[in-house]
């Protein structure tokens, strides 16, 4: 299906935010912050493909934001909405935005729709190009961030596209996604989107996450070598862009206002004061259900399981078990040999005309033969 709204000329480029000399990245207080993560995985309209990887996106992102090593956002402050209704999504956004004091994070992943007025809509399950009223107009989402949110830092992350360009295995995309960044007249705000104009935002079927969010999760979880101990959004963006570009995938776009690029949500696992070791938090030993969800699938696309220590422990336990088994077998062999010796000596003394030292020697010989046979059988086993 073709998009009823053809792509507009390239008016927006990847802009590097102004860096001020006194800009210093600071991590928001997790206790005074809120996050709303919205993912739409299923659509009732046949024109919109299902996006199962989006469910993995929101679970993993919630795991990272609530990881105490990275930010430590309380789970009750991280609302995860999977396939929400319009009223549920808008009510949750408004409530979280009004409660946030230090930072507010909004993430959406799913299809994007564009009206004839070139307004971006975030598609919910019941939405379609014929039912835009079932989608979230970006202005509806943006309004509570402007009007109800007094947080010093606002971060908006959009992994979306337009249904008119939908392709098998892709989330359609267009330049208008970037227009929302120009519409963002919020102080201390940062916006990152999955793709530039006329580019596709990928959701490969054979990968656990969508392309953009997968690179974002990888950067947040592993850290950036050589970067400071706090990862500001500009550093995160450049690492994500580099990873996607290296794979030949659409490059993300960013826009910041009033030092929004210096917002640092997570700590750098590979910063100067930390050793180079990182893993995806939800690949994490699977932390159970992510905040706001009841169940969680196995999550390990690009994480690295820390198996070295557990293998060493297993080997130590195996060696200990072998030593204990061998010791028990030797003790049993000695006891059995002793029993054979005493039994043979008693039998010779009682029933045979052999007594004294001859009986003792014969009994010892029999016991040694039995012991040697037992040792032979033990060595073969």
Which position has the token pair 């030092």?
259
Is residue 17 pLDDT above 90, yes or no? no
Give the integer Cα–Cα distance in Å for 1 and 345.
99
DSSP letter assigned to residue 239: H
Higher pLDDT, 163 or 161: 161
pLDDT for 381 equals 63
| pLDDT bucket at 314, cuts 50 / 70 / 90 | low
- The string of pLDDT tens digits covering residues 76-129 is 999 999 999 999 999 999 999 999 999 999 999 998 888 887 778 899 999 998
pLDDT for 345 equals 65
Bridge partners (DSSP) listed for residue 158: 108, 193
Contact between 189 and 156 (Cβ < 8 Å): yes
Give the range among 9-23, 95-109, 113-127, 302-316 with minimum mean pLDDT. Answer: 9-23
Model pTM greater than 0.75?
A: no
Radius of gyration of the chain (CA): 33
DSSP letter assigned to residue 301: S
Give the integer Cα–Cα distance in Å for 266 and 275.
16
Q: What percent of the chain has pLDDT over 70?
A: 71
Contact between 38 and 90 (Cβ < 8 Å): no
Burial class (CB in 10 A: 0-12, 13-18, 19+), 274: middle
pLDDT for 170 equals 40
CATH class name, domain 30-305? alpha beta
Mean pLDDT across 338-353: 75
CA angle 12, 18, 23 (to 5 degrees): 145
Mean pLDDT across 25-54: 94
Cα–Cα separations (whole angstroms), residue 71 to 35, 62, 380: 12, 11, 58
Give the range among 135-139, 177-181, 267-271 with minimum mean pLDDT. Answer: 177-181
Please tell me the number of Cα atoms within 13 Å of 302 on its side-chain side: 20
Mean pLDDT across 354-365: 73
Helix (H, G, I), strand (E, B) or coil at 20: coil
The mean of the pLDDT values for the chain is: 77
Give the integer Cα–Cα distance in Å for 343 and 320.
35
Is residue 352 pLDDT above 80, yes or no? no
Is residue 41 pLDDT above 50, yes or no? yes
Mean pLDDT across 241-246: 94
Q: What percent of the chain has pLDDT over 90?
A: 42
Give the range among 50-59, 217-226, 236-245, 297-306 with minimum mean pLDDT. Answer: 297-306
Bridge partners (DSSP) listed for residue 153: 103
- The string of pLDDT tens digits covering residues 269-298 is 998 887 654 444 445 433 334 444 433 333
Higher pLDDT, 138 or 68: 68
| pLDDT bucket at 172, cuts 50 / 70 / 90 | very low
Give the integer Cα–Cα distance in Å for 341 and 327.
21
- The string of pLDDT tens digits covering residues 43-67 is 999 998 999 999 999 999 999 999 9
3-state helix, strand, coil in the chain (%, to 5): 40, 15, 45
Helices 211-222 & 233-246, crossing angle to 10 degrees? 120
- Every domain of the chain and the residues it spans: 30-305, 309-380
Cα–Cα separations (whole angstroms), residue 266 to 70, 233, 263: 5, 9, 9
Helix (H, G, I), strand (E, B) or coil at 190: strand
Q: Which of 165-174, 241-250, 304-313 has the highest mean pLDDT?
A: 241-250
| pLDDT bucket at 187, cuts 50 / 70 / 90 | low
Phi and psi angles of residue 150, each rounded to the nearest 5 degrees, phi first:
-105, 10
pLDDT for 199 equals 54
| pLDDT bucket at 151, cuts 50 / 70 / 90 | very high
């Amino acid at each position: 299906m073709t998009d009823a709204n053809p792509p507009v000329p390239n008016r927006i480029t990847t802009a590097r935010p102004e860096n001020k000399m006194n800009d210093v990245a600071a991590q928001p207080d997790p206790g005074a912050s809120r996050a709303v993560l919205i993912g739409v995985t299923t659509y009732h309209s046949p024109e919109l493909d299902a996006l199962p990887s989006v469910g993995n996106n929101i679970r993993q992102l919630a795991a990272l934001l609530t990881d105490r090593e990275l930010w430590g956002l309380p789970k009750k402050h991280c609302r995860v909405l999977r396939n929400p209704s319009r009223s549920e999504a808008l009510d949750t956004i408004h409530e979280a935005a009004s409660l946030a004091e230090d930072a507010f994070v909004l993430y959406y992943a799913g299809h994007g729709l564009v009206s004839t007025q070139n307004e971006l809509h975030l598609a919910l399950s019941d939405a379609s190009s014929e039912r835009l009223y079932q989608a979230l107009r970006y202005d509806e989402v943006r309004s509570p961030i402007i009007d109800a949110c007094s947080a010093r830092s606002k971060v908006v992350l959009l992994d979306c596209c337009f249904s008119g360009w939908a392709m098998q295995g892709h989330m359609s995309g267009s330049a208008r996604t970037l227009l929302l960044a120009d519409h963002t007249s919020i102080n201390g705000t940062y916006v990152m989107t999955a793709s530039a104009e006329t580019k596709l935002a990928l959701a490969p079927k054979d990968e656990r996450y969508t392309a953009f969010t997968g690179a974002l999760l990888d950067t947040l979880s592993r850290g950036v070598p050589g970067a400071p101990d706090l990862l500001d959004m500009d550093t995160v963006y450049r690492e994500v862009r580099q990873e996607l570009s290296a794979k030949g995938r659409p490059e993300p776009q960013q826009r910041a206002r009033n030092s929004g690029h210096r917002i640092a949500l997570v700590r750098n696992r590979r910063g100067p004061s930390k050793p180079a070791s990182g893993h995806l938090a939800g690949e994490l030993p699977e932390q159970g259900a992510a905040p706001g969800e009841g169940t969680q699938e196995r999550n390990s696309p690009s994480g690295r399981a820390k198996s070295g220590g557990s293998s060493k422990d297993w080997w130590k336990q195996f060696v200990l078990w072998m030593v204990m088994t061998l010791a028990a077998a030797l003790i049993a062999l000695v006891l059995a040999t002793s029993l054979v010796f005493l039994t043979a000596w008693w039998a010779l003394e009682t029933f045979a005309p052999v007594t004294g030292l001859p009986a003792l020697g014969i009994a010892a010989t029999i016991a040694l033969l039995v012991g040697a046979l037992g040792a032979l059988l033990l060595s073969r086993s």
